[in-house]
Amino acid sequence: FALVGGLWLVIQPAAQVAIYALVFSVGLKIKPANDIPFILFFVCGLLPWLTFQESLNLSVSAITRSPHLVCKVRFPTEILPVISLLVCLVTFTVLLVALMILLAVYGMTWSWIFLQGLYYLAALEFLALGLGWLLSHGIGDTLRVSLAADPVEEVKVGFEILKSLELRHHGI
């Protein structure tokens, strides 16, 4: 199963890129500026988005996916989203290698300016980590209730969030 999981890291984004490339470049005949092939243009935008999306999704659910670590021993829960972020960086590395292969296939020249992508990756991952910490510690409950429930329920969830953050010890 580990081989299938490793292949899925490549197959799922590759299928997504192939579908979008077919729709936009063949069906709609969209051509980006400077004669850059659409697939390169698209992958350069999709790669950061997939990384951010996966980092945020995994970091938000990191605590609920590992209740055995949180409940049994005294364990700093802030570490779990960081571990999820590191797992996402493995996926990012695989996709980055695929992007470099695409750049070589299309004959695009490599530049040292590409290294600024590391700064943007770090900023993106810190944003995902910060949002993951906020959403995994109860702020997400408020967002879900705000969309689906009565305002009275929002107040109750707000009190629960304050209790979980140890900012309020009594109330409803």
Per-residue pLDDT tens digits for 63-113: 666 666 656 667 677 777 788 888 888 888 888 888 888 888 988 887 888
Number of H helices, E strands in the chain: 8, 0
* Cα 85 to chain centroid, rounded: 8
Report the share of the chain in percent with pLDDT over 90.
2
- pLDDT level of residue 151 (50, 70, 90 thresholds): low
On whether the pTM is more than 0.85, the answer is no
- Contact assessment for residue 80 and residue 66, using Cβ atoms and an 8 Å cutoff: yes
pLDDT of 145 higher than 70: no
- Contact assessment for residue 172 and residue 159, using Cβ atoms and an 8 Å cutoff: yes
